[in-house]
Amino acid sequence: MLKRHKLILWMAVLSALTLLSPVGLAQSWVALDCDDNGDEFDCAQVAGGKSAYAIIGSPSVLNPVTSQDTASSAAFEPLFGTASNSDYASLDFGILSSGNTGFDPRAAAVIESNEDATTLTYTLREGLKYASGESVTTDDILYWFHDVVNNPNLPNSSSTSFSCADGTPFLVEALSATQLTVTCSATFRTFTSTAGAQYVISKQMALDFIDVQAIDTEDGINGPRATQEFMGLGVDISMLTGGLGHFVMTEFISDQVVRFERNPNFYGMDSNGTQLPYLDSYETLFFPTNGQNLRLSAFLNGQIDLIDPRPADISPILSQAGAGFNINPDINDGSPDDGEVFTTPNFDDPDANLQAAHRNVSVRRALSLAIDRTAAVFNVLLGVGTPQYVKVNFNGVTGDTFFSGRNNTCETFISVGLASSDNCSGLIWNLDSGLILQVNKLPDPNSTPEALQHLTCLVDYDGCVNAAAELLDSVGIVDTDGDGIRNIPADFDGFGNPGGNYSVQIFTNDGNTVRFAHGEVICSSWTALGIDCQAGTKAFSTLVSELLSGTYSGFITIGLTGGDPTGGANVLQCGAALYFWHISCDPQSTSGLTTQDPASANIEAAFDEGFAATTVADAQVGFDKQQIAFLQGEPYLHLAQENDLFAVRSDRLCNHGRDDEGNTHLKFRIDLAGNERSCTTN
């Protein structure tokens, strides 16, 4: 499934061991071939045991459609599934670098396409059941598509994920109780991936929640639709049985823990006939305050089995490893992590001076140039990271395919005078500051003058601060009263603001010491520019609420998950749920504060070109333009991305796939009797 972005047994012993059997289950999905699994994952000899991990923050909702944050996803994905387990079709058409366009049936046993791949037909597995035992029908899928995803009373970011290249929703129609079609007037590169990702969740469960809470309804397309959220944090969790995920929820304390037990009706199995998941139970700890410190403690004391650590956590983990527990040797695999880290202004800022200033491209460009990204890598990420500039992954398959610097070599940087043959060879650039960077993880300096200037900051930061100061001077934001702080003029750019000192606050979520440290680096940079800047924190739920309502003032430092660039539709299109820097943006507006600014419009137009492409080559053209437009307009300001850090109790857990919260159907305990030698790959 193409994800929308968000705020990651031997037969000789079978007779002596107890294994779950899929007898009486639906037509099974063989999720793991024990004889030929490509050396990626292993089959457990024994099922059982539990696993746990922890996440910073706490959930805000239990509805997979309306959720915008990863803490909420951690609470409901084991119930309803992710792209790797319970979506009834997941296709590799979304990432075509290998030319793989094969179907990967999950909840659907049969998937058929018409000749031009504009209509896909799905036939559900025979006997498919929810955790409740209720049979799955296409009416469930149609209800969730028409009356939840596309319910105008429930603002969400799923609707953009289930839309055609022209922005119209997929046409989803049932042919029978077990067969349905998904159609667009024209195909696009990732259609076959998103078409198969419709929510397979019980319609009756939704109606029961709406009824028991006495929520007002209106006539929908496939049933009565709710006029407000119906799966908030206060719902009766015993009713949460209408999913196809691996687990069912047994306990939920929203700011502490969520616990799960195996879904007895999960339709996945390995080729030895063992019903998945291998684990009996699973839990997630929530740390809404002091989260990163508490998560490290939980890992070191054995409460959780795996963690994506901060750079500062590597030393204490290594120092304690071996004293009672073992860990994987590749905590830092040397590659950048997925996604993006940035600080964002608010074009709807309640402070009229900041609203006027931050709608100005020259001001945003000055602020971005002044950020000391070298200090961000060294002081915040302890050297374990890379400066970041654009909203496209620069790692993995998607980065190799779509990041604008994918073809960079040292010669690229030598030719523009940034590097020399003495400090750059192959793909490795050794800067005088001590930074060691891969040149194909940086934008192409020839793509636009803005890219070249940003990259020049890595070798001449003082020059960039001077350039930033000149930009602010050029638009009239200068120190008019001699107090050392620049002043935003009254009626700046005709916005009618009163004028005053340029003072901003940068907030991030409580307990995220890395993002708070980023805020301190930013404030240090902007203070040198003559801006009064303070860094602070707020509860994650408050931060997200303010971000998505457009009520915050100053900047918010936060991150987004990553993947194929097409998944950014819910971020880059005016009016989308995560268009957070200008949440009031109205695609129909032609004048006033709700009108899309030209810089953001250029980014969206380039994105739409990449989105609508039918080939990788054409998508590269569009997404390369998007990255150029982003560097020119910078609606929000990227910082630095740390490496993909991951630590796991290698004496406890196998099949983790370097993912703390994913792969839950395949993870298993090594320390169960009979499993000691089952784990060979990770």
Identify the pLDDT of residue 96. 28
| Cα 242 from Cα 132, distance rounded (Å) | 6
| Cα 213 from Cα 202, distance rounded (Å) | 17
- In 263-370 the beta strands, taken as DSSP E runs, fall at 268-270, 281-287, 306-307, 332-336, 340-344
By DSSP bridging, strand 637-638 and strand 647-648 are unpaired
Contact 454, 442 (CB under 8 A): no
Q: Which segments of 52-94 does DSSP mark as H helices, in order? A: 70-80
The number of angstroms, rounded, from the C-alpha of 587 to the middle of its chain's C-alpha atoms is: 25
Identify the pLDDT of residue 87. 39
Beta bridge partners of residue 559, listed in sequence order: 341
Identify the pLDDT of residue 102. 53
Which region, left, alpha or beta, applies to residue 145 given φ > 0 means left and ψ of -120 to 50 means alpha?
alpha
Identify the pLDDT of residue 103. 63
Identify the pLDDT of residue 351. 98
Burial class from Cβ neighbours inside 10 Å (0-12, 13-18, 19+) for residue 337 reads buried
Beta bridge partners of residue 386, listed in sequence order: 641
The total number of residues shown for the chain amounts to 682
The number of angstroms, rounded, from the C-alpha of 675 to the middle of its chain's C-alpha atoms is: 33
Identify the pLDDT of residue 12. 24
Question: Which is nearest to 390 in space by CA: 638, 608, 642?
Answer: 638
By DSSP bridging, strand 281-287 and strand 50-56 are parallel
Identify the pLDDT of residue 614. 87
| Cα 597 from Cα 585, distance rounded (Å) | 9
Token pair, residue 103, equals 């179907």
Identify the pLDDT of residue 206. 97
Identify the pLDDT of residue 93. 34
Q: What is this structure's pTM? A: 0.88
pLDDT along the chain (682 residues), means of 10: 38 25 60 77 94 91 89 90 40 32 73 84 91 95 95 87 90 95 90 85 97 97 97 95 94 95 94 95 92 94 94 93 86 90 97 98 98 96 96 89 96 97 96 95 96 97 97 98 97 97 96 94 97 94 90 96 87 93 96 97 97 91 97 97 94 91 91 88 71
Token pair, residue 352, equals 């009229």
R_g (Cα) of the chain, nearest Å: 25
Identify the pLDDT of residue 110. 81
| Cα 181 from Cα 196, distance rounded (Å) | 10
Domains by residue range for the chain, with CATH: 87-235 (3.90.76.10), 340-642 (3.10.105.10)
